[in-house]
Amino acid sequence: MNRIAPGAQADASPPCRPTLPLAPGSWLGMLGGGQLGRMFCMAAQSLGYRVCVLDPGADSPAGSIAERHLRADYLDAAALAELGETCAAVTTEFENVPARALQQLSERTIVAPSADSVGIAQDRIAEKGFVRAAGLPTAPYRPLRSVEDVRQAPAALFPGIVKAARLGYDGKGQALVANAEEACLAFAELGSVPCVLEQRLALDSEVSVLLARGFDGTSLAWDVAGNVHRGGILARTTFPARIDPSLAQHAFDATRRIADALGYVGVLCVEFFVLADATLLVNEIAPRPHNSGHATIDACVTSQFEQQARALAGLPLGEPRLLAPAVMLNLLGDLWFEHRTDAMREPDWSAVLRHPSAKLHLYGKREARRGRKMGHVTILGASVDAASAVADEIERALGIGERGQ
C-alpha cells in the first residue's frame, strides 16, 4: 500500500461532500454506460448501493445491469435533473462526458470528480499547462490553434506527434509527423481544431499510477502498472511494473501532487513516459478508473471500482495492497474475426480458462468491432515472470497479434 498524506493545495476547491457516509440502499449516479461504468455498478451493488446510469445507448454495458438507465444525451436537461434528484452522489466513467453536465449536476447533488477536474483532463492544452504549473515535466510540446502556429513550431519538436486537444483516446485523433509540412497536413486532416504538437521521444517504457482520494484529502495508491500499447490501444499491463523502487516513488509523488492540486475526489490515473535515463514525464491524466487498473479486481484487496464507490459514498478507502502479481490482457473485437477469411466467430475461451490462474471478464457488448474493447483477462501468478509466461501462452492461443490486436 502507498499511503499518501492528506493536504490539498490551498487554492484547490474541494467538492461538496456527504455529511455522513451514504447508507447502503442510497442511489449513486453514473454518467456513461461503457465497461468502466459496468464494473463500477457491480462494485457499488456489492456494497449495497443502487445505481442509476445516464447514457444515450440502448444496450450499454452499464445500463444493462444498473437498477435504472436513463437513456438520454449527457446534456439533456430533464435527464440531468432526474439523475440529480434521484442520486445522492454522481460520478463519471470517462473524461469526454461534457464537463458542463457535471457542473449542472453539482447544483443538485454531490459530484466527484468535479467538473473542473474533468474539464482539465478533456483538453490536452489545458492538461499539459496544468501539469507544468504543478511543477511536473511533460514531453516538449507546442499548442496549435492555427496553421501559423504549426509553421512556427520549433524544429526541435520534429519528428513529433500532432494530437487533437479534445476527444482523442486509444490513439484516435493523432498523427505522426516528420516535419512542419506533414504537421500542417495533419492539422488540416484533424479538422484544423486546436491540437498539440508533441516531440516524439525514445521511450524505455510506459507506466501508470492509479490513486484514490477521499473527500478528506486522504489518498491511497496501488502499485505502479507497466503498460504496453499496440496501435495506440493498451494491450498488456504488468502489475506491478518492473521498475526501480525509487522511480516508483517518484511516480507516486507526482500523482499525489496532481491529485492534491486538483482537489480531486475519486479514482485518478496518471500515465507516464519513462526515458532511457529514468526521466519520468507526465503523459496524460484520466479522471476515472483506467484500463491499466483492471488487474486490481482480481489481484488486490480493493479494486479500483470498489474504491471509486467508497470515495463517492464518503466511506473510508479500502486497502489497495497487492495479493498476487498479475498480467492483464485487453481483448479487442479483432479476436472475433478469423485471421484469413475475416469471418465472425466466438473466440475459444476454453483456451483461456484451462489456465487455473486466468480470470476472464467480458463486458456484455453485443457487437464486436475491430479495436473495440470487448473484455480483458487477468492472469495471477506467484511472480510477475510466472504470470507473464501464462499470458504469453494465452496470447498465442487466442492469436493476439495475428488479427491486428
Q: Are both 63 and 165 inside the same structural domain?
A: no
- Write down the mean pLDDT value for the chain: 92
pLDDT of amino acid 186: 94
Query: Is 219 inside any structural domain?
Result: yes
Q: Are both 45 and 77 inside the same structural domain?
A: yes
Q: Are both 282 and 391 inside the same structural domain?
A: yes
pTM for the model: 0.92
Handedness of CA 176, 179, 181, 183 (dihedral sign): positive
- Choose among 31, 112, 115: nearest CA to 71: 31
Q: Are both 207 and 328 inside the same structural domain?
A: yes
Q: Are both 166 and 195 inside the same structural domain?
A: yes
- Count of domains observed in the chain: 3
Residue 179: domain span: 140-199
Query: Is 135 inside any structural domain?
Result: no
Q: Are both 232 and 341 inside the same structural domain?
A: yes
Alpha helices in 168-215 (DSSP H): 180-189
Q: Are both 252 and 378 inside the same structural domain?
A: yes
- Choose among 213, 196, 222, 190: nearest CA to 138: 196
Report the CATH number at residue 81.
Answer: 3.40.50.20
Name the band, by pLDDT with cuts 50, 70 and 90, for residue 14: very low
Q: Are both 183 and 267 inside the same structural domain?
A: no
Q: What is the pLDDT of residues 183-193, one digit of tens each?
A: 999 999 999 99
What's the CA gap between 170 and 168, in Å, rounded? 7
Q: Are both 105 and 155 inside the same structural domain?
A: no
Query: Is 133 inside any structural domain?
Result: no
Q: Are both 266 and 359 inside the same structural domain?
A: yes
Q: Are both 99 and 35 inside the same structural domain?
A: yes
Q: What is the pLDDT of residues 120-151, one digit of tens each?
A: 999 999 999 999 999 999 999 999 999 999 99
What type of residue is 57?
G
pLDDT of amino acid 5: 34
SS3 271: strand
